[in-house]
Amino acid sequence: MRFFIEGFGSAEQRAAWLPRLASVAISEPRVGAHPKLLTTRAEKDADGYVIFGEKAWVTNGPLADVFIVLAVSAVEGDRKRYSALLVPRDTPGLSIDEAPQYRALAPSRHCGLKLDG
């Protein structure tokens, strides 16, 4: 998670989020992390972006302060363009569904995310 924030975040984002626990949200229910099948989308508005979609198997998500969400931010012809967006845990429209214990990655906990604007 440090890679994303250190490498791509602004100075303000690095100061705010590096000291805190972040979790990456890429996989989606029923399709995994296959780029051509991902449907979570980010739409630009006056304040930044609004995100719509669902993420699955977010490692350490139940403990995270911020989520790095991969979303389709543009479509050019038949190609999807992606952005990684920082979504704080208390963002309106974000709901967290803790997943049952997944023993293969114990002791990490997992969750799903629903992003509704």
Low-confidence ranges of the chain (pLDDT < 50): none
The two tokens of residue 37 are: 């099948």
Count of domains observed in the chain: 1
Per-residue confidence (pLDDT) for residue 1, from 0 to 100: 64
CATH code, domain carrying 81? 2.40.110.10
Structural domain for 91, as ranges? 2-116
Q: What is the value of pTM for the model shown?
A: 0.86
Instruction: List, for residues 9-20, the tens digit of each pLDDT value.
Output: 889 988 888 888
Per-residue confidence (pLDDT) for residue 83, from 0 to 100: 95
Per-residue confidence (pLDDT) for residue 51, from 0 to 100: 98
Separation between Cα atoms, residue 101 and residue 67, nearest integer Å: 20
